[in-house]
Amino acid sequence: MGYRFLGDSGLKVSEIVYGNWLTHGSQVENDVATECVHAALDAGITTFDTADVYAGGSAEGVLGAALAGQRRESLEVFTKVYFPVGGHGPNETGLSRKHILEGIDGSLRRLGMDYVDLYQAHRYDYETPLEETIEAFAQVVRSGKALYIGVSEWTAEQLSAGQELARQAGFRIVSNQPQYSMLWRVIEERVVPVSRALGISQVVWSPMAQGVLTGKYRPDAAPPAGSRATDDKGGRDMIARFMEPHVLSAVQRLRPVADDLGVTMSQLAVAWVLANDNVASALVGASRPGQIAENVKAAELTLSGEVLAAVDRALELDGTQVIERDPAKTQSPSHRLA
């Protein structure tokens, strides 16, 4: 396992981050979730990502229980705030001072921890003054409840404005958590160049495009039973945009590229995002412990320029547009979701 600095900070994180969105407290039983966390630790993963909204708060609780007894100083634990958790009051969502300060206390209680290493704005809040949001995060840092601050799915302009205010408040935004994969490249044109200039790293989610880049979904067959594409708790909706036959056909053309390297398609997909030098880590989940060891091997791969070019040729072979590059796709809800 390799480790990279998170932005311009002194914090190192594992190149593979174990994330528990759509798994802990939802798709995976708690005992299996604990086995997955322990397998991640055994594989050298030290960084774990969750959010208060995942499974209505249950995901944080499951992760905290699974990490109980581990040396806290050897771990980097991330969580997020923005979406409502359990309640529907007018202030139970967004990035107001009230919601952030109540949110961090709730997260720490569920995790059973005194602090998190990274506290992230899960989305941008258009209805709260950015100055209020940044000052609330500064208060969280000053209180010792979070050591670093990050964001998720912020645009280049939002990152620039937020970083300037953060510097004035005495801290820095060190990370952004966007969706990024071979199929979803919307951050490349604007977010990545601005992030480099601002000292912000990407901690990317869905490097395997919700599992599509594993190659298990074929254009001429029904989704495998028990897969994300059959999950009616949210997984099926998230993966729908990648389940078009022309996309699945293009993905199958990546198989020879992976075979030539002697790796799985999953490993190729994760190694591809790690080839971007602005990416600190790739978020990977698991529904069984055995998946961890396979995904960790991706951190050992260094993809040549020839391989990266071969990936693009395979996906664009027939001229069909399967790669999303529109920077406008980086977006947050226009209003708070109650």
What residues contact residue 292 under an 8 Å CB cut-off, 6+ apart? 18, 36, 39, 40, 43, 45, 284, 286
**Nearest to 3, CA basis, from 274, 323, 232, 199:** 274
Alpha-carbon distance 273 to 284, whole Å? 12
Question: Chain centroid to CA 75: how far?
Answer: 17
**Nearest to 64, CA basis, from 100, 33, 93:** 33
Does 54 participate in catalysis according to the annotation?
yes
Q: Position of tokens 């409502």?
A: 84
Rg (CA), the chain: 19
Q: Report CA-CA distances (Å) from 219 to 97, 215, 245, 249, 250.
A: 47, 10, 5, 6, 10
Alpha-carbon distance 171 to 8, whole Å? 12
Alpha-carbon distance 282 to 80, whole Å? 17
Active-site annotation holder among 54, 119, 180, 217: 54
Alpha-carbon distance 81 to 304, whole Å? 38
Residues annotated as part of the active site: 54
